[in-house]
Amino acid sequence: MTTSWEKAVAYALSLPDTEMGTSYGKPAVKVSSNGRAFLYTGHEDQSSFGIAIDLDTVEILKETDPETFWQTPHYEGWPAVLVRYDSPDPERVRAMIERSRDWTAAKPKVKPRKKKA
């Protein structure tokens, strides 16, 4: 299922209130109603994609399935976890993509950034 970026995106876009966009200049799937990214390419795009999720869930995922869910120092301390494309548990990966969408959808709408003078 999530053996590639394209398949991860296809699944994420099948969820309600989602759209393709960008995050930090890279492709990402966002929640349409608030403009926040929940699935993105990340820095390790050859092997993994990233999802936004609460810090407690990040720790649980890393502890219970480190073969699939992991972080580099770049992501430590942030509500995000990397997901390997070759996960042996695609059902859990899909469930976490859904949970990421729901968690992100509950956040307020992104405020426009002020332009620097």
Backbone angles phi, psi at 60, to 5 degrees: -60, -45
Q: Give tens-digit pLDDT for 64-76.
A: 999 999 999 999 9
DSSP string, the chain: --SSHHHHHHHHHTSTTEEEEEETTEEEEEETTT--EEEE--S-TTTEEEEE--HHHHHHHHHH-TTTEE--TTTTTSSEEEEETT-S-HHHHHHHHHHHHHHHHTSPPPPPPPPP-
Q: What is the pLDDT of residue 117?
A: 64
Residues of the chain with pLDDT under 50: 1
